[in-house]
Structure 1
Amino acid sequence: MAEVVSSLILLFFFPSGCLTGAVNLKSSNRNPVVQEFESVELSCIITDSQTNDPRIEWKKIQDEQTSYVFFDNKIQGDLTGRAELLGKTSLKIWNVTRTDSALYRCEVVARNDRKEIDEIVIELTVQVKPVPPACRVPRAVPVGKAATLSCQEGEGYPRPHYSWYRNDVPLPTDSRANPRFRNSSFLLNPETGTLVFNAVHKEDSGQYYCIASNDAGSARCEEQDMEVYDLNISGIIGGVLVVLTVLALITAGICCAYRRGYFINNKQNGESYKNPGKPDGVNYIRTDEEVRSRVRSDLTKDT
């Protein structure tokens, strides 16, 4: 009797032809990391399913945008010609680039299973080796003045860290932390690549270069010289005094020349005078009587 009841229960809950399986996925590596231009496998494995031919889809999620990678049994989008399906569900990508860094979602639809759909998300990280960074080093700095050296690189991923070298000797992040650099006063920021001297010393002269490095590799800039020179205070003071003396002599010479009249327009034997001018716009016309009077005056003077 008990066996009959058990059989009836099984037939009630799981009648003939009822879906009993449940599709499930797993991945051997949900966070693959690969260097640029290498190949990578995005693992997606079906562990349980009663469906012989499930539908497989791969989607790429990047910058909040979703696009098909594998759909309708073929590779789609920018992976066309660079990817293929391995086995039933895994995806292999050749010649990966930095733009391939994204989330990839493997979706499986098994129509003959009780649980028809399952999915798994894989995060792909493509590392990019840094290129030679751009370094800026001041050519000459006077003793006691501040100086800033910069190092920047914009291609590497993850973001590179920076280190500075002087005469092939690595510099610490803080000169006070190393007795070897007790005569220096600088701070190095490995995140930004800046090397800042609060006040340079003669010992800070040398050849400087920077190295940018991340997990994919490293690159360095060319060596650049920085000279630290002494200020010649006595020479500067002497030069200023010479300039002031020359200016005083020039001023005295100009004043003397003015007093002696060298800058006055001399006309008619050195005497400067102006003929009485006529008011503008006025023409004087002499009468006959004025002319005869002027002639008689001139004759009287002659006698």
Structure 2
Amino acid sequence: MERTSLCVPIVILLMQCFPSLPVTVSTNKQKVEVHEFSDAVLSCIFRTERDQNPRIEWKKKGKDVSFVYFDGHFRGPFEERASIDGATVTLRKVTQEDAGEYRCEISAPFDSVNLGETNVTLRVLVPPNTPACEIPSAAVTGSAVQLRCRDQQSIPPATYAWYKDDQLMIPLRHANATYLINTQTGLLEFKAVAKEDSGRYSCRASNGVGKPTMCEGRHMTIEDVNVTAVVVAVVVICLVVLVCGCGGFLMHRNGFFTQGHRGRSFWISECHGAAHISSQNLNRTEDTSNVNYIPPPQEPQDFKHTQSFML
């Protein structure tokens, strides 16, 4: 009895010194970066208190949480191209649609703490595509000109370098620089172009993933302004406007536009008068014709008839 009474406190003391651990979940790598169309390993390591067969679930966060692995099977787009070892998942031939944040959940109903989770972020790296370049074909000396280069698909975002006649243009930082290059946005800006800025320009995009790419080069010509021709054209236009304005003013002042209106009224009244006179002349002609009218001779009447009438 004494030995038994001594063992109970010892067991209680050992349990207090070495408490049982609840379910714990962790990962070897919280941020995973892989190239597009390669395999991605999302690690999930767990340890349970008593439950030897916990439930394993993988979910992908987004606007809506979707299942990746549930009830012992992969779901959705991962059904045919993913595998699991313990709780670690391997996704094969990942694309940009697979990028995002994933969560590994371990449920152990028989543990004192029966749920644990860890998060893994997947980033899919994309090499630069051929950048879109905007290069004007011509410009006038002294004008401000901008050349643009952009690739919207590369991850991480690409940086840009400009070439003139296949020679790298070094970004200038001093105040008197004739051009400025923004390597982050791909903008090449000339404050005031000169004849020597004529040449063939191209742009290169790179982000450390895959090979850099370049857009097709395009020639930009800088032309001088013909000051004499511009001045002559302006003077001629001014003279034409002045002559037209003076001519219109003088014609209005001399009553040309008013006389024209009166002339039209006079012509209309004259036409009405002429029509009235013509009508009167026509009537007179008809009266004259009636006065000169001679009736045809009558045939002689029967003598006997007349005499009998008188009787």
Shift in alpha-carbon separation, 1:279–1:212, aligned structure 2, 3 A: farther
Q: Which residue of 1 aligns with 2:220?
A: 226
* Maintained 8 Å contact 1:176/1:185: no
Per-residue deviation at 1:155?
A: 1.4
The alignment covers a number of residue pairs equal to 257
Alignment partner of 1:108: what SS?
strand
Q: Given the alignment, which residue of 182, 187, 191 partners 1:194?
A: 187
Per-residue deviation at 1:286?
A: 4.2
Shift in alpha-carbon separation, 1:291–1:140, aligned structure 2, 3 A: farther
* Maintained 8 Å contact 2:48/2:111: no
Shift in alpha-carbon separation, 1:13–1:152, aligned structure 2, 3 A: same
* Maintained 8 Å contact 1:20/1:114: no
Alignment partner of 1:111: what SS?
coil
Per-residue deviation at 1:202?
A: 1.7
Q: CA RMSD in A?
A: 3.5
* Maintained 8 Å contact 2:108/2:115: yes
Q: Given the alignment, which residue of 263, 284, 288 partners 1:287?
A: 284
Q: Give, as a single letter, the amino acid of the residue that structure 2 aligns with 1:27.
A: T
* Maintained 8 Å contact 1:25/1:47: yes
* Maintained 8 Å contact 2:48/2:108: no
* Maintained 8 Å contact 2:164/2:202: yes
Partners in 1 of 2:33 and 2:157 — Cα distance? 15
Per-residue deviation at 1:191?
A: 2.6
Q: Which residue of 2 aligns with 1:41?
A: 41
Shift in alpha-carbon separation, 1:3–1:131, aligned structure 2, 3 A: same
Q: Which residue of 1 aligns with 2:51?
A: 51
Per-residue deviation at 1:106?
A: 0.7
Mapping 1:84-163, distance limit 5 Å:
84-86=83-85, 88-163=86-161
Per-residue deviation at 1:147?
A: 0.7
Alignment partner of 1:7: what SS?
helix
Q: Give, as a single letter, the amino acid of the residue that structure 2 aligns with 1:41.
A: V
Per-residue deviation at 1:34?
A: 0.7
Q: Give, as a single letter, the amino acid of the residue that structure 2 aligns with 1:141.
A: A
Per-residue deviation at 1:10?
A: 3.9
* Maintained 8 Å contact 1:84/1:91: yes
Gaps of 5+ in 2: 245-266, 290-311
Q: Is residue 25 of structure 1 aligned with residue 25 of structure 2? A: yes
TM-score, length-normalised on structure 1?
Answer: 0.72
Q: Give, as a single letter, the amino acid of the residue that structure 2 aligns with 1:204.
A: D
Structure richer in helix, relative to its length: 2
Partners in 1 of 2:182 and 2:171 — Cα distance? 6
Alignment partner of 2:80: what SS?
coil
Partners in 1 of 2:273 and 2:213 — Cα distance? 87
Shift in alpha-carbon separation, 1:288–1:230, aligned structure 2, 3 A: closer
Partners in 1 of 2:96 and 2:113 — Cα distance? 36
